[in-house]
Structure 1
Amino acid sequence: MRLSRFTAMPGCDFTRRDLLRWTAYAAAAAPLALADPTAASASTGRGSAADVRPVNLELVTLAEDHAVITWYTGRAGTDDGLGRMVPVPADGEVAYGTHPSRLNRVAHGLSGHTPYHYVELTGLEPGQTYYYQARSNGQAAAPTPFTLIAGNAVGTSTYGFGTGGPYSFTTPQPPRGKYLFSVVLCNDLHLGETQAGLVGGQPQYIGISQEPGLPPYPEVMLESLVQDVARFTPSYLLAAGDISAEAVPTDLSRAGQLLSRFGRYREDYFVTRGNHDRAHTGDAYAACRVGQWQGNDCFHDVYFPGDQPTYFSRDLSGLHVIGLDTYDKAGGGGDAGGMSPAQLDWFRADLNRHRDQPTLVFGHHPLVVQDSAFPGSPSNALDATQAATVLDWYAKTPGVFLHHAGHTHRNHRTVSPSAPRVTHQEVAAAKEYPGGFSILRLYTGGYALNFYKSRGDLARQWSERSRQEILGYWPQFAFGNTVADRNSVAAVDLSGLRRPPGHRG
């Protein structure tokens, strides 16, 4: 049974069968060190500077001219009750250079003394290999461990593994042509949620709540997101579903209030429905319209009032954007996504009308879900028959180049052989670890897509706390197996696009 305002992980609806399969898999894997490997159980945060341990090193963002690196510092020998070391503020710096024995440049973080380190390296050269070492209190930060997957949290090569660093990455070349504008891609805001990481009501998978006295974490993360994206001067924002935890009208409206800090609804930012935003029954929903499939549909009232359908398309500065309602059906939210026959007919006709125009499609449920550390489930994606149909349409529609989805709460890039011109990009949830958004930069000859963690003080604090979901295994699913799962460059003819009027960039 689903609990109002709570969420199950991963992919919003992790069933009991999924749980049993994954538990057996995880039990067979090497144990994951959730805190310092020498740590004793719960202690106080007291101790010397030498007791501070920098861990959870991650290369989050990699673009042609900059990179973002994060890590965490905690007190060795302590446990905060979630399986991690008690947070301890420390200094933080990244030494880097173009040769592993000559790290002659140093960058410092957003905060000079914090447990939640966020360092941006700027002025990088495209196509250049760099080596780096992140340090706190003179100690090298240890990478986030991947024990369930073949992956790499800290670089584009395995250089430095086994020696404690330095680690290595190679910057990509920028897209070809002239820069046009940028679009924010985000999803899974879950306004109204109070616990993250609940799985099937099983006691061993504890829900993680916000620390007492702090604002609700979905609001913390969305407020930071809207503030953080401003530095990229994006023209548009697309939020792909699960705007709310359980479609309570006040939560839907609060999400709209925060998103409106970005700009005007249906002109600057756009939203689609997720399974959490479906029509519900109960007193909290009684004032909303009767749902097409069940209950009362508050999402429809708040975001698509009147007789508007809950799916749409828009031309944004020459870019054709299609927003899908992937829970346009009856159901309790824990099954596969689906579109109504009417929506499918509309979708096919819209693709045909814009066959050669550069087109971006976004909706909550992915069409395909591959390479997961967790077991596959029909609930993780769109109905398989419908997904196959859409992929067939994409193969016949040269203009479609990107399909953005949420729902899985992870960063992952997939190219299906059924429609190889289209990149399918799953973006991690905005509301929990790694907690952020992707910036899509469009050029006349292609695009770059980069993931960023939300970087407000409280956002970094919650992101690090919520990484302990699923007994601390959550990063192996959510962060992205490789740097390319969250940062990529593609060549596409986008010469038909134009800079928006009053362009922000």
Structure 2
Amino acid sequence: MSCCGPTRRTLLGAMAVATLSSALGAGASRAQRNSLIATDLELVTVTDRSVIMTWTTVAPDASGQPVPVASSGAVRVAPVGSAPVTMYESAEPTPFHYAEITGLEPGRRYIFEAESEGVRAVSALNPVTLAPDAPEVCGEFTTLVPPPGRLLRTFALGNDVHYGETVSGLIVGDFPPGFRSLPDLPPYPEVMLAALLDDLRAPDRGAQRLILAGDLTAEATPSQSRSVRAQLDSWGALGRDYLVARGNHDRPHTGADYASCAPATADHRDCFTEFFVPREELVQHEIGGLRLLGLDTSELDGTGGRIDRPQFDHLTGILTADPDRPTLIFGHHPVTRTSGATALAGPGFILNASDSTELQTLYTRAPGVFLHHAGHTHRNLRTRPDTPCDVEFLEVASVKEYPGGYTLLRIHEGGYMVSFYKTRTPAARQWSALTRNEYFGLIPAYTLGHLTDRNHVVHRDFSGLT
């Protein structure tokens, strides 16, 4: 297999998916199966011993509109220089394919090809998956080499559930056209959160803690806050199994819907506090010597981020008293200048410049801080700090819409491995296929992230953890 640019079949697949959204919602027409298209190929996850790829199969109906078509799926894999062999076959036909191949060797180059009923799966028109070196183009990937030493802990990093939201993909008002829950299914935030929680306890994921960096709710009403807390509590206990930081959607609000909640100011009522964590208060947790700290970066009104002085002083005191302790920090708003320069909404969408500078300067005096997890932008992005601190700043794509998933952070004695996973229940895969058409089909170019943003290894000394 050789690297190449987009083929005619790739272009056809992209054009088909441009109108796939309406077909996913309706699904009433009969497809012409002799015109099957396997598109949207994405090699999402690469670990040391496994790889996961997804794709969708569609075909035009009698009117020429593409509709989802259930088909078989297969993936052939082999080390470079060998003939590919089938390592995955779907258990039953589906339009929304999710293939996980295990048993691979660390640090080895592999070739692969995915297909449905003899039709090769190809990428849609996404600059990330159509780059000359993209696995979807080259048909190659290299497994990661895990950090040395024993696996100590596995954490799941997630954000942006937006519980109670009814239309996904809106930016301002009703623009651009949004997407509503599929017929005969629960509201999509419930579907996607259930899929996340279902994944985490599975033996092949094995997360011991879930860390949620904000925007659990759409507008932090009493009903939304109570309901998302109930769904999370059906999985585990707050403060033990899962930790929560507040996002801008979880901030105090004004209006009659919030009248029963505790006052935050003379005009604002805070319903989120009753069910989760107090406003502007640092979340603290420790496990096996590892320190987890959650920041409330929400503003009282607005989408940007800030850290109030008492919370900042509290964080400074903790890190100053024990600066070398391995520490993971999570908060809703991204921090670095690179994040602000590349965010669709601009620098005003992230943590404000003065707080960002102070926070990163603090990290230079606390060498134990190794990772800062954020959400808010709904994308996978890894950025470097603006100060000489040895901290990874990691944005994780949203739970609630395409690509619809979470990141596993696997901590070894000699470092950590980051792996992004899409959620995999049938309903979650269908919703992700629909919402990849958000922003007029441009959302994959923004939110999926480069393969190395989603999957990478960092060497650190965690030998003192248990």
Distance, in Å, in 2 between the alignment partners of 1:310 and 1:54 is 49
Distance, in Å, in 1 between the alignment partners of 2:121 and 2:258 is 48
Three-state SS of the structure 1 residue aligned to 2:181 is coil
AA of the residue aligned to 2:300: A
Match of 1:146 in 2: 126
Three-state SS of the structure 2 residue aligned to 1:61 is strand
Distance 1:453 1:370, change over 3 A: same
Match of 2:193 among 195, 218, 222: 222
Match of 1:479 in 2: 448
For the pair 1:125 / 2:125, whether they are aligned, the reply is: no
Q: CA deviation at 1:354?
A: 2.3
Distance, in Å, in 2 between the alignment partners of 1:377 and 1:36 is 29
AA of the residue aligned to 1:301: E
Match of 2:293 in 1: 322
Match of 1:432 in 2: 401
Distance 1:88 1:297, change over 3 A: same
Three-state SS of the structure 2 residue aligned to 1:489 is strand
Q: TM-score, normalised by structure 1?
A: 0.83
Distance, in Å, in 1 between the alignment partners of 2:130 and 2:342 is 14
Task: Show structure 1 runs of 5+ residues with no match.
Answer: 1-29, 499-505
Distance 1:31 1:132, change over 3 A: closer
Distance, in Å, in 2 between the alignment partners of 1:72 and 1:143 is 10
Match of 2:364 among 390, 395, 405: 395
Match of 1:347 in 2: 315
AA of the residue aligned to 2:71: A
Match of 2:277 in 1: 304
AA of the residue aligned to 2:72: D
Distance 1:417 1:326, change over 3 A: closer
Q: CA deviation at 1:108?
A: 2.1
CA deviations 1:299-348 (Å, max 9, x no partner) are 1121136xx85322222221111100001x431x33x2111111111111
Q: How does 1:423-502 map to 2 (within 5 A)?
A: 423-480=392-449, 482-498=450-466
Q: CA deviation at 1:212?
A: 2.2
Q: How does 1:239-388 map to 2 (within 5 A)?
A: 239-292=212-265, 294-304=267-277, 310-327=281-298, 329-331=299-301, 333-334=302-303, 336-368=304-336, 370=338, 375=344, 377-388=346-357
Distance, in Å, in 1 between the alignment partners of 2:62 and 2:369 is 51
AA of the residue aligned to 1:122: T
Match of 1:191 in 2: 163
Q: How does 1:82-121 map to 2 (within 5 A)?
A: 85-99=66-80, 102-109=83-90, 111-121=91-101
Match of 1:134 in 2: 114
Task: Show structure 2 runs of 5+ residues with no match.
Answer: 1-10
Q: TM-score, normalised by structure 2?
A: 0.90
Q: CA deviation at 1:189?
A: 0.7
Q: CA deviation at 1:202?
A: 5.4
Q: Which deviates the most, 41-50 or 418-427?
A: 41-50
Q: CA deviation at 1:200?
A: 1.4
AA of the residue aligned to 1:359: T
The 8 Å contact of residues 72 and 115 in structure 1, kept in 2 or not, is answered as yes
CA RMSD of aligned residues (A): 2.6
The 8 Å contact of residues 36 and 77 in structure 1, kept in 2 or not, is answered as no
Distance, in Å, in 1 between the alignment partners of 2:267 and 2:62 is 49
Distance 1:293 1:137, change over 3 A: farther
Distance, in Å, in 1 between the alignment partners of 2:73 and 2:342 is 31
Distance, in Å, in 1 between the alignment partners of 2:227 and 2:260 is 17
Distance, in Å, in 2 between the alignment partners of 1:405 and 1:170 is 27
Q: CA deviation at 1:415?
A: 1.7
Distance, in Å, in 1 between the alignment partners of 2:53 and 2:457 is 19
Distance, in Å, in 2 between the alignment partners of 1:278 and 1:45 is 44
AA of the residue aligned to 1:282: G
CA deviations 1:137-168 (Å, max 9, x no partner) are 21111113224xxx33799x34673xxx6x11
Match of 1:212 in 2: 183
Distance, in Å, in 1 between the alignment partners of 2:17 and 2:406 is 29
CA deviations 1:368-427 (Å, max 9, x no partner) are 263776645133211111001111111121100000000000001112251441111100
Distance 1:79 1:337, change over 3 A: farther
Q: Which has the higher contact order (CA 8 A, sep 6+)?
A: 1
Q: CA deviation at 1:255?
A: 1.3
Match of 1:49 in 2: 33
Q: CA deviation at 1:294?
A: 4.6
Q: CA deviation at 1:208?
A: 0.6
Match of 2:4 in 1: none
Q: CA deviation at 1:33?
A: 3.8
Distance, in Å, in 1 between the alignment partners of 2:97 and 2:15 is 18
The 8 Å contact of residues 123 and 136 in structure 2, kept in 1 or not, is answered as no
Three-state SS of the structure 2 residue aligned to 1:343 is helix
AA of the residue aligned to 2:157: L
AA of the residue aligned to 1:302: F
Distance, in Å, in 1 between the alignment partners of 2:162 and 2:215 is 6
Distance, in Å, in 2 between the alignment partners of 1:490 and 1:475 is 26
Distance, in Å, in 1 between the alignment partners of 2:192 and 2:234 is 14
Match of 2:381 among 412, 416, 425: 412
Match of 1:12 in 2: none
CA deviations 1:441-493 (Å, max 9, x no partner) are 1111101111100101101111111111000000111111x111111111011
The 8 Å contact of residues 401 and 423 in structure 1, kept in 2 or not, is answered as yes
Three-state SS of the structure 1 residue aligned to 2:329 is strand
Distance, in Å, in 2 between the alignment partners of 1:123 and 1:207 is 40
Three-state SS of the structure 1 residue aligned to 2:463 is coil
Distance 1:397 1:79, change over 3 A: farther
